[in-house]
Amino acid sequence: MPIGVIIDSLAVALGGVLGALFGKYLKEDFKDQLNMIFGCCSMCMGISTIVLMENMPAVVFSVIIGTAIGLAIHFGQLVNKGGVAMQGVVSKFVHTNSSLSEEEFTATLVTIIVLFCASGTGIYGSIVAGMTADNSIMISKSILDLFTAMIFACNLGLVVSLIAVPQFIIFLVLFLCAGLIYPMTTPTMINDFKACGGFLMLATGFRMIKVKMFPTADMIPAMVIVMPISWFWVNYVSPAVAALAG
């Protein structure tokens, strides 16, 4: 059962409601400082999974090649276009009296649609939950998303809550697909997959605290190729290196 996916979607919905109702009582400095804590938590979550890495060359190669593929096919731009299309649908259902200009409102809404629906942490967490029934990543993410949704809803209003619907659909599909993939994996492949996801969470944390704007959306293809590369490394590259060394 996708417990983590459900909890995360409910957290976004609840955060949107709370932010819309009580956001006017929060100071801007409070919101900015809290966002830095979100970034710190994301980086800590990333580091905790990177240490599970079993084949460092395979994971590093996957991150580099996967990001190169994402940049080459402009995957990040495709994600943003999806966010724009989703923004048009969401805005039809909920209107807001936001103090932001129409341009600022649209740009911010697209940003959080991408953040909640296409984040490396969410994609990685959904797949891990589907493969191993470990919902800890998604539950940890739901805590961050609850407060993140509250902060954004202070300016955007209840429209933030509706993002929980497409988020749930996307993560549920990933959860179900992961259950089909799991029988074809090995513990080593899963650990390397988790480590690859850790790189994305670490990069997301740096973006959240605005230290460096890593192309996290373009890094997502690395999640697709890391397990095949890990398998190839264990079965072919490592034995070949061992034979040459011997």
| CA distances, 154 to each of 39, 94, 162, 173 (Å) | 19, 15, 15, 30
**Cα 163 from Cα 1, distance rounded (Å):** 21
Q: What is the pLDDT along the chain (246 residues), one digit of tens a residue?
A: 889 999 999 999 999 899 888 877 777 787 778 778 878 887 887 898 899 899 999 999 999 999 999 999 998 888 777 766 766 666 666 555 555 566 666 656 666 776 787 666 788 888 889 988 889 889 988 988 898 888 888 877 888 888 898 889 989 998 998 888 878 888 898 889 888 988 988 888 888 787 888 888 888 899 889 999 999 999 999 898 888 876
Tokens of 56: 């460092």
Task: Give the DSSP H or E segment for 126.
Answer: helix 120-132
Q: To 10 degrees, what angle do helices 120-132 and 221-232 make?
A: 50
Biggest CA–CA distance in the chain, Å, is 71
How far, in Å, CA of 49 to CA of 137, rounded?
Answer: 10
Q: What's the CA gap between 227 and 233, in Å, rounded?
A: 10
Q: Which residues of 63-82 are buried (b: 16+ CB within 10 A; e: fewer)?
A: beebbebbeeeebbeebbeb
Task: Match 């890593």 to its residue by tokens.
Answer: 214
CA distances from 240 to 65, 188, 209, 245 (A): 22, 18, 43, 9
Single-letter amino acid, residue 151:
I
Tokens standing for 20?
């819309």
* Alpha-carbon dihedral 166, 172, 175, 177, rounded to 10 degrees: -90
User: Against a cut of 0.85, is the pTM above it?
Assistant: no
CB 223 within 8 A of CB 196: yes
Structure confidence by residue, pLDDT tens digits, 83-133: 667 666 666 665 555 555 666 666 566 667 767 876 667 888 888 899 888
- Cβ atoms of 140 and 45 within 8 Å: the answer is yes
152 CB contacts (<8 Å, ≥6 apart)? 16, 19, 108, 112, 160
CA dist 210 → 26, 112, 118, 190, 229 (Å): 21, 15, 19, 30, 32
